[in-house]
Structures are given as C-alpha cells and as structure tokens.
Amino acid sequence: MWKGDQAMKKMTIKDVAEALGLSPGTVSKVVNNSGRVGDKTRKRVKEYVKKHGYVASANARILKSRLSFTIGVIFSDISHVGLEHPFFASILQSFKTAVEERGYEIVFIVSRVGENELTYYQWCRNKKVDGVLIVMGNINNPNIQEVVQSEIPCVSTDIVMDNLQSVISDDKEGVRLALDHAENLGCEHITHITGPTSSRGFAERAAAFSREMEERGLPLPDEAVEIAEGFGFTSGYNATLKHLKKVARPPELILAGSDELAFGIVRALESKRLRVPEDIMVMGYDDIKFAKHFTPSLSTIRQNKEKIGRLAAERLLSAIEERRPKRKEITKVPVELVKRQSTGRG
C-alpha cells in the first residue's frame, strides 16, 4: 500500500457533503449524533462515512468545540525520575488504558512549546486539554498550584491539595499492617527509612510511622526515622550505613518507604555482615514487580497500582463530563500485606 511521496489527499467534511449532495453542517450533525437529521439522510451519511473512512480532523474539531478528549499528564518535576520508575509507570499505564477505553488520550505536559516557556496552566489552555493527571508532583511547585487552582479538572495519584481530587493508597493502614506484622514477629526496635519528605507518600508514611509507634508504646528515638536523599537503591544503601553509625545496636526490623529503597537497605546491611532476615528484617513498600524476585524476596505493603490508575481515570472523566465544581476529595485505595522472605522464612 505504498503511497509514495504524495500523501493521499485527505478527505474533509466538505468532500463528504459534496459527494452526497448535502451541506457540511448536516454531515457534522450526523457524525456527532447531534441535532435533527432525517432518517434516510442520516443513514446515507453513516454508510458513506464508514465506507470511505472519513474522520474529522482532530485539530479543527478541538479548535471549535469544548472538548479535546485529551488528558494532560504531569509526570515528574523532581529528581530525575522518569518513565523508568516502576511504581509510577504502573499507575500511568493503568490510567492510560482506562482513559483510552473511553476515547481519551494522554499527552505529557511539558513546560515549553516550541520556543516558549509556558506554565503548566498555560500549556493546558494552549492545548485545550480536558483534564490533568498529576502522577507525581510537588505541592510547592507554583506551576502545579496554578493548574490545581484553575478551572481545569484535575486528579492526582500522588499529592493532596485544596480543590484537588486524589486517589492514593491508604498509607496509615499500610504502616499499621507493617507494624502489626512486625509485632507479630516479636520486633520492638523498628526503624523507618524513607525518601525525601517533599514527596507526599514518604511524608505520610513517616508521620504514620511515628504516630503508630507511639500509640503502640514502642521505642521511638530520634534516629528511628531516617530520611534518604533520593528515591533509589543508592539512597537506601547510603541512608542505611548512616543510620547504622548513629545507633548503638541495629534495630530488629527496618521498614522502608519504598521497595527500591528497601533493596538498597538490604544490600547495605549485608555489606555490614547483617543477614536478612536472620539478624534483621526488612520490609518494603509498593510491591513493584521485582520485589518478589529479589533475594531475599521482599516482604512489602502492596499498593494497588492498577486500581489507583483506573480509579483516577474514572474520577477525572466524571469530573470532566459532569463539570462539577472542584473540591478536595480523597479516595483511599486499600493496601495489602505481602509476606515474603525478608521478614521470615518466606
């Protein structure tokens, strides 16, 4: 089906109208199921359109109408975390699948168009996106604040803010499950190593950890919460070494803020001749695909990434289609304890 250099001339609504001896307006109505059109005409148009594969130009349509069937995605502004981050990639994937099923598509919001630097909000206006998903963001980013406070429907699977719908894991419950598990294993001296608290998840888990430990009457010295410098393996590794230097005696269990941190934590412990789980236990958070293939396989709190993405899509599309006023609303998605070798014999 080689078309050579010259493209097949594109069929426009006028071509269709002309071929059928109708006006463009009438064809438009049929295509969009709007307005009144006679039955036989409607049928003629539908058949022609189907047969010849006419589809309205996306750009012309968006230019005129309210909706673009496009969702802008804010993926990352902080710390070179990209599509390669398994947790966020999973969420994005399931969100993408869900909106595509409803005829929407996703585009990544960037802060420039051609040569112009735009704010996220300007970008959205410029592209007329129908809604915005914040997969990962920082509440102090003025760009994000602007979008969230604007008239554009938004949903986040990460941050929580005024006027913003969020679909997130129940982190309090996650920490509770983790500590229940720890207590069942007979652990009392527990350390929490988490990532930068500029990230909501990390901050929330750290807060929940402290509160829970107190309520349970477990020891909570200052060193019991260690903040790693980044998101990845190396950050977890380094934070662990730092922590071990601070304490007289290693804790019985370390709860990590994420699986990736946990991987680094485990290796750091091993480098100090501490065996996991025999000498010290480790728990992760997220249950990314690799957690079960790690050695020792990682006990963790599973976040339901698929559900988070799907629910976020539902919430956002309803907000778009019902045009209701924006308000803060948090949907908590249950988490689940996954027991593996790193806290026992697997």
Residue ranges binding a second copy (CB under 8 A): 1-7, 10, 53, 55-60, 62-63, 68-69, 82-84, 86, 89-90, 92-93, 96-97, 100, 103, 105-108, 110, 112-116, 118, 122, 125-128, 145-146, 149-151, 163, 233, 263, 267, 289-290, 293-295, 325
Residue with Cβ nearer DNA (36 or 273)? 36
What residue 122 binds from DNA, a second copy, none (CB within 5 to 8 A, per partner kind)?
Answer: a second copy
* Shortest Å distance, C-beta 16 to DNA: 8
Residue 21 contacts DNA per CB under 7 A: yes
Residue with Cβ nearer a second copy (181 or 302)? 302
Under 8 Å between Cβ of 92 and 109? no
Name the token pair of 280: 């010290």
Cα 140–144–148 angle (5° rounding)? 115
* Shortest Å distance, C-beta 282 to DNA: 55
Work out the widest C-alpha separation in the chain, in whole angstroms.
88
* Shortest Å distance, C-beta 89 to a second copy: 5
Phi, psi dihedral angles at 264 (to 5 degrees)? -65, -35
What residue 140 binds from a second copy, DNA, none (CB within 5 to 8 A, per partner kind)?
Answer: none
Residue with Cβ nearer a second copy (97 or 198)? 97
Residue 112 contacts DNA per CB under 7 A: no
What residue 26 binds from a second copy, DNA, none (CB within 5 to 8 A, per partner kind)?
Answer: DNA
Contacts of 336 (CB under 8 A, 6+ apart): 177, 287, 301, 302, 304
| Segment 271-275 long-range contacts (CB within 8 Å, at least 24 positions apart) | 271/241, 272/241, 272/244, 274/250
The amino acid occupying position 116 is: N
Under 8 Å between Cβ of 257 and 194? yes
- Site size with DNA, rule: CB under 7 A: 34
Under 8 Å between Cβ of 151 and 127? no
Q: Residue 99 and residue 116: Cα distance in Å, rounded?
A: 29
Residue with Cβ nearer DNA (3 or 66)? 66
Contacts to DNA from residues 177-206, by CB under 7 A = none
Residue with Cβ nearer DNA (40 or 112)? 40
- Residue range at the interface with DNA (CB under 7 A); choices 16-24, 153-161, 210-218, 230-238: 16-24
Strand-pairing partners, residue 70, are 105
* Shortest Å distance, C-beta 126 to DNA: 8
* Shortest Å distance, C-beta 211 to a second copy: 32
Cα radius of gyration rounded to whole Å, the chain:
26
Residue with Cβ nearer DNA (131 or 284)? 131
Exactly one of 3, 66, 249, 345 binds DNA (CB under 7 A); which one?
66
Q: Residue 34 and residue 212: Cα distance in Å, rounded?
A: 57
Enter the DSSP assignment of 82. -
Contacts of 211 (CB under 8 A, 6+ apart): none
Residue 14 contacts DNA per CB under 7 A: yes
Q: Residue 225 and residue 221: Cα distance in Å, rounded?
A: 8
Residues that bind DNA (CB under 7 A): 10-14, 21-26, 28-29, 31-32, 34-42, 54-57, 60-61, 63-66
